[in-house]
Amino acid sequence: MKVTTRVMTANRLGDGAVVYLAEEDDWVLVLDDAEVADGDEAAAALEARAAASAARQEVVSTYLFAVSVTETGIAPVSQREIIRAAGPTVGTDLPATTPLV
Amino acid sequence: MYTYNEFDHAFVRDRTAEFRDQVARRIAGELTEDEFKPLRLMNGLYLQLHAYMLRVAIPYGTLSARQMRQLGYIARRWDRNWGHFTTRQNIQYNWTKLDDVPDILDALADVEMHAIQTSGNCIRNVTADQFAGVAADEIEDSRVWAEIMRQWSTLHPEFTFLPRKFKIAITGSENDRAAVKLHDIGLRMRRNDAGEVGFEVIVGGGQGRTPIVGETIREFLPKQHLLSYLEAILRTYNLLGRRDNLYKARIKILVAAVGIEKFAEMVEEEWHEIKDSALTLDAAKIAEIERHFAPPVYQEIAEPVAPYDAARFTDPAFAAWTRTNLFPHKQPGYTIVTVSLKPAGGVPGDATAEQMEALADLAEKYSLGELRIAHEQNVVLPYVRKQDLHTLWQALGEHGLADANIGLITDIISCPGLDYCNLANARAIPIAQRLSRHFSDPALQSEIGPITLNISGCINACGHHHVGNIGILGVDKKGVEHYQITIGGIADENAAIGKILGPSFPAESVVDAIDTLIGTFRKIRTEGETFIDTVTRVGITPFKETLYANH
């Protein structure tokens, strides 16, 4: 099944930190606070806002990625985005998936 | 060691000042990311998954205690208290902030270091045998030539925008510890029939998605022609190398396309034109560089060294360490110590600020103030008196640096993988951690014997998986990390690319799979046979059969 829910992410210009686009064009550090786009139209709107922010030199490397939204919150689908959201798993004992908190 | 002259100092300072201005303009919004990216890459600054990563050059893996201490200081002040030593003998800081980078570069310049030539399509930081200048088996100190190449290649106007990055490695010994056959150009110092020392020139090696063992295009190149010959190779490549396809742009693809004989012919033709140009190295010029690498004043020490032997006989843990972590020195009474950065369950190549400072202190005390970084991601103390070994080993132990596992199964090479790297498909470090914990029993490691186990988180092969006796490659299989296993890879003078055993394994099965391979090896080895010799003798089939029978 195709995942249609997506979140816009980027790296913050100053420190490269992983950030997510939230309401009022705010970039937040916590994935759960991000704005979720459901469908192509909403995703395109996030892209336009992210591009404007990148043009204001606030962030770099903007892109959308797939998430699943459940009662417990927003979770990335890919391992890469799980690690970006939760930080390196180094030092842990390689759990099946990286816990998000 | 090489010390900067006025030109070097001014050049590095100017470069830092230039980058400070570029960073300020970027933060002020005067430069876009597209404009800024090539500038930051020329200064070793990457944007990775979680932060900016600064890759600092350690030319040919040699550094002073003062420089190592500064690397520790940088880790503490501007990063998260540690750094990661890489398979290119460099160090990477994973958590740098953009506006701190100019200050970091200034701190590096204070100790004659920089981050130039660690990125981009230029001639990268030259790598060398970590035992250069001290190994008993060496013909000559390869660092002299590595430094000559560094000076020639830094900001070489013709080779700043090559089709792709370009890596040169050099070894001064018949025994290749610098993986020279896996580089764009590999140089092996050798003697000709007349007893003169020169270079065997190997081209077209490399790992990545198209692993190729380099081939020799010249059996013997007289020393004075090194730069003109390299220039001829680079010119040929620069002119004919592909620029239309990133994956086909390395020299190995060009060499494979035209054939090694034809390529050698083209190089010789070009070389003929420039052979006796200003690039010829006269004796005075060579002597000027050699002066920097003059051997230290050694003490006359008679062998055997009684206190050293006594400590070995009375302290079994120390004795075990001396069996794995020492290498014969050319000077009687001295030895070369490899300090393992591979503790059981640890991150290969990582050192904390405190460990770097401790290593600097110990180098000052016991190794004439000098250290090396090995491409296997360990640290080397090149000038240790045997009588100091027991004390040194105890001091290393206080800092978690006394693991006795060099060349054994837990001495794992691992790239940063998906935990940090933007290019990775799968994690590498956690696999290394699980494996080193699984095989941590010293008796088991010793019984398994010499072996290399290398892990990369993607096909770019920074973790040298293609040339590990056992290689593990992380792949993305429908969004889930999987690991492909190869055996039979060799990185030394008998370089070979490992063979894939079969379908990949999910992360949780990798330790079992490697355990099965080792179990198979222990069953079928002849007495005293190493893993790679067994693979060479029996081929991959017995390993394949047991591996996939059990999984």
- Model confidence over A18-54: pLDDT tens digits? 999 999 999 999 999 999 999 999 999 999 999 999 9
Give pLDDT, residue B21.
Answer: 98
Which residue type sits at B550? N
d(CA B23, CA B31): 9
Judge contact between B217 and B264, C-beta under 8 A. Answer: yes
Q: Which residue of A has its CA nearest to B350?
A: A90
Tell me the one-letter amino acid at B198.
G
Q: Does the pLDDT value for residue A101 go beyond 60? A: no
B98 has a chain A CB within 8 A of its CB: yes
Produce one character per residue of B129-147: b if its CB has 16 or more CB atoms within 10 Å, e if not: bbbbbbbeebbbbbbbbbb
Q: What is the band of A91 on the pLDDT scale with cuts at 50, 70, 90?
A: low
Whether the per-residue pLDDT at A94 is higher than 70: the answer is no
CA distance B46 to B29: 19
Q: Show contacts of B460-463: CB within 8 Å, 24+ apart.
A: B460/B207, B460/B208, B460/B209, B460/B423, B461/B207, B461/B208, B461/B209, B461/B211, B462/B86, B462/B87, B462/B415, B462/B416, B463/B87, B463/B413, B463/B414, B463/B415, B463/B417, B463/B428
d(CA A69, CA A36): 9
* Helix extents (H) in chain A: 40-55, 79-86
How far is the C-alpha of B126 from the C-alpha of B130, rounded, in Å?
12
Nearest to B327 by CA among B409, B406, B411, B390: B406
Note whether B427 contacts A61, CB cutoff 8 Å: no
Interface of A with B in 63-92 (CB under 8 A): 77-80, 83-84, 87-92
Q: Which residue in A1, A2, A12, A15 has the most chain B C-beta atoms within 10 A of its own C-beta, making it the best mutation to test that interface?
A: A15
Q: Which residues contact B470 (CB under 8 A, 6 or more apart)?
A: B451, B452, B453, B454, B485, B486, B487, B489, B498, B514, B517, B531
Contacts of B52 in chain A (CB under 8 A): 15-16
Residue B169 in 3-state DSSP? strand
Q: pLDDT of B274-333, one tens digit each?
A: 999 999 999 999 999 999 999 999 999 999 999 999 999 999 999 999 999 999 999 999
pTM of the model: 0.96
Portion 22-61 of A in contact with B at CB < 8 A? 54, 56-57, 60-61
Q: How far is B439 from chain A (nearest CA, A)?
A: 15
Please count the CA atoms within 13 angstroms of the CA of B219 that sit on its side-chain side. 3
What Å distances lie between residue B292 and B15, B227, B372, B491, CA to CA? Answer: 24, 19, 16, 30
What's the CA dihedral at B266, B268, B274, B278 to 10 degrees? Answer: 130
Task: Enter the tokens of residue B252.
Answer: 């190995």
Question: Which residues have a Cβ under 8 Å from the Cβ of B111 and sit 6 or more positions away?
Answer: B64, B66, B67, B70
pLDDT of residue B548: 97
- DSSP category for residue B409: T
Contact A79 B420 (CB under 8 A): no
| Residues sharing a CB contact under 8 Å with residue B68, sequence separation 6 or more, in sequence order | B356, B357, B359, B360, B363, B371
In sequence order, which residues have a C-beta less than 8 Å from that of residue B455 and are 6 or more positions away? B412, B413, B414, B415, B417, B428, B431, B432, B463, B465, B468, B471, B472, B473, B474
Residue B20 corresponds to which tokens in the numbers above? 């400070």
Distance CA A31, CA A83 (A): 12
Contact A94 B420 (CB under 8 A): no
Query: For residue B208, what pLDDT is reported?
Result: 95
List the helix and strand counts (H, then E) for chain B.
18, 21
Cβ atoms of B126 and B88 within 8 Å: the answer is no
Please tell me which of the candidates A17, A88, A92 has its beta carbon nearest to residue B420.
Answer: A88
Strand residues in B35-79 grouped as ranges (E): 45-47, 52-56, 62-64
**Cβ within 8 Å, pair B434-A93:** yes
Of B51, B433, B508, the CB nearest to A16: B51
Question: How far A82 CA sits from the closest chain B CA (Å)?
Answer: 10
More confident residue, B129 or A93: B129
Put simply, whether A18 touches B (Cβ < 8 Å) is: yes
Cβ atoms of B510 and B484 within 8 Å: the answer is no
- Rounded distance, CA A65 to CA B417, Å? 20
Q: Facing residues of A60 across strands?
A: A11
Q: Which residues of A touch B419 (CB under 8 A)?
A: 83, 88-90
Instruction: Give strand pairing partners of B187.
Output: B170, B201
Residue-wise pLDDT for B383-430, tens only, equals: 999 999 999 999 999 999 999 999 999 999 999 999 999 999 999 999
Query: Side chain identity at B312, as an amino acid letter?
Result: R
- Coil/strand/helix, residue A15: coil
- Polymer length of chain B: 551
Point out the least confidently predicted range of A83-87, B62-66, B373-377. A83-87
* Residue A90 pLDDT level (bands cut at 50, 70, 90): confident
Mean pLDDT rounded to a whole number for chain B: 97
Residue with tokens 């010390």: B3
B430 and A CB contact within 8 Å: yes
Distance between CA atoms of residues B215 and A83, nearest Å: 40
Using CB atoms, pick whichever of A17, A54, A79 lies closest to residue B51: A17
Q: How far is A41 from chain B (nearest CA, A)?
A: 25
CA atoms of B399 and B419, how far apart (whole Å): 25
Three-state DSSP state, B373: strand
Q: What is the mean pLDDT of residues B214-232?
A: 97
Q: CA B83 to CA B93: how far, in whole Å?
A: 5
The answer to ipTM > 0.85 is yes
A95 touches chain B (CB under 8 A): no
Asked if B50 and A18 come within 8 Å (Cβ–Cβ), the reply is yes
Asked if the bond preceding A99 is cis, omega within 30° of 0, the reply is: no
CA distance A3 to chain B (A): 13
- Report the relative pairing of strands A27-28 and A36-38 from DSSP bridges: unpaired
% of residues, chain B, pLDDT over 90: 99
Which one-letter DSSP state was computed for residue B497?
-
Distance CA B194, CA B58 (A): 35
Best of B104, B419, B438 to mutate (most A CBs within 10 Å, chain A)? B419
CA distance B351 to B43: 23
Cα B527 to Cα B505: distance, rounded to the nearest angstrom? 31
Q: B479 to chain A: nearest residue by CA?
A: A78
Give the mean model confidence (pLDDT) for residues B79-105.
97
Instruction: Enumerate the β-bridge partners of residue B138.
Output: B173
Yes or no: say if B383 and B370 are a contact pair by the CB < 8 Å rule: yes
> Which residues in chain B touch residue A78, judged by CB atoms under 8 angstroms apart?
479
Which of A1, A62, A80, A98 to substitute to test the interface with B, most B CBs within 10 Å? Answer: A80
Q: What is the pLDDT of residue A7?
A: 98
Q: CB distance from B436 to chain A under 8 Å?
A: no
